[in-house]
Amino acid sequence: GAGVSQSPRYKVAKRGQDVALRCDPISGHVSLFWYQQALGQGPEFLTYFQNEAQLDKSGLPSDRFFAERPEGSVSTLKIQRTQQEDSAVYLCASSLGKTGTRLNEKLFFGSGTQLSVL
Amino acid sequence: ELKVEQNPLFLSMQEGKNYTIYCNYSTTSDRLYWYRQDPGKSLESLFVLLSNGAVKQEGRLMASLDTKARLSTLHITAAVHDLSATYFCAVEETSGSRLTFGEGTQLTVNP
């Protein structure tokens, strides 16, 4: 498919477990974002990559959250020692544009990974 | 810190009626986006508003932006059931990367 693909679609973790969430952006897209969407809320920014460079990680809620995009395409969001408050849908979005251009004008979101921490 | 507020948060309306959703934001920005989200699905881009006075229309939805008032509206004309969804506005920060979203307006259109 031509869209942003995220896996797994659902993830159930026991408190304290580490999880890894994957995002396959649209081929050729330079910019990649991670957003966290709690139940009944709007998405909240976590981090932004331009190619392999993580240009903004100011939205990551704690040092248990780590994101990477080593080859400038696939990205992984890792959460260590998960807590119940980490339960949310994690959305990935990609864009052909980059900072300084209108990158949000053509921003495509994936369907998200729903993480439940028990 | 940029804050984005939508109202109402919940809207139940009858088919054929008109209504407006409001989106207020707290700091200067001239780029605002509207998205639709169906349950369990991702965000679908509806409108991109890039300047003061911008107005965009698609079908029964019309969006406008007043950057001086820091206000955007999403107007629904003659609602139909298919419009039932959650609608988010999002404001782009001056850095030009991250979006700050409102809480969303959950719209239910009843027959």
DSSP conformation letters of A12-26: EE-TT--EEEEEE--
State yes or no: pLDDT of A13 exceeds 70: yes
| pLDDT band for position A100 (cuts 50, 70, 90) | low
For residue range A19-54, list pLDDT tens digits in order: 999 999 999 999 999 999 999 999 999 999 999 999
Burial of B14 (0-12, 13-18, 19+ CB in 10 A): exposed
Mean pLDDT computed over every residue of chain B: 93
A with B: how many residue pairs have Cβ under 8 Å apart? Answer: 60
Picking from B97, B101, B105, B106 by the largest number of A CB atoms within 10 A of its own CB, the best residue to mutate is: B97
A104 touches chain B (CB under 8 A): yes
> What span, in angstroms and rounded, lies between the C-alpha atoms of B67 and B60?
23
Contact criterion met (CB < 8 Å) for B97 and A59: no
State yes or no: pLDDT of A98 exceeds 90: no
| pLDDT band for position B111 (cuts 50, 70, 90) | confident
The residue of chain B with its CA nearest to that of A38 is: B103
Under DSSP, is residue B83 helix (H, G, I), strand (E, B) or coil?
helix
Task: Check if the beta carbon of residue B80 is closer than 8 Å to that of residue B94.
Answer: no
Which residue carries 């200067």 as its tokens? B28
* Residues belonging to chain B with any Cβ–Cβ distance to chain A shorter than 8 Å: 4, 31, 33, 40-43, 45, 48, 50, 88, 90, 92, 95-104
**Largest pairwise CA distance in chain B:** 44
Picking from B6, B25, B36, B99 by the largest number of A CB atoms within 10 A of its own CB, the best residue to mutate is: B99
The residue of chain B with its CA nearest to that of A33 is: B98
> For the CA atoms of B23, B73, B56, B110, what is the dihedral angle to 10 degrees?
110
Beta bridge partners of A93: A33, A109
> What span, in angstroms and rounded, lies between the C-alpha atoms of B19 and B77?
7
Q: Give me the residue from A42, A48, A104 closest to B92, CB to CB.
A: A104
Contact criterion met (CB < 8 Å) for B33 and A48: no
Mean pLDDT computed over every residue of chain A: 94
State yes or no: pLDDT of A1 exceeds 60: no
Contact criterion met (CB < 8 Å) for A56 and B97: yes
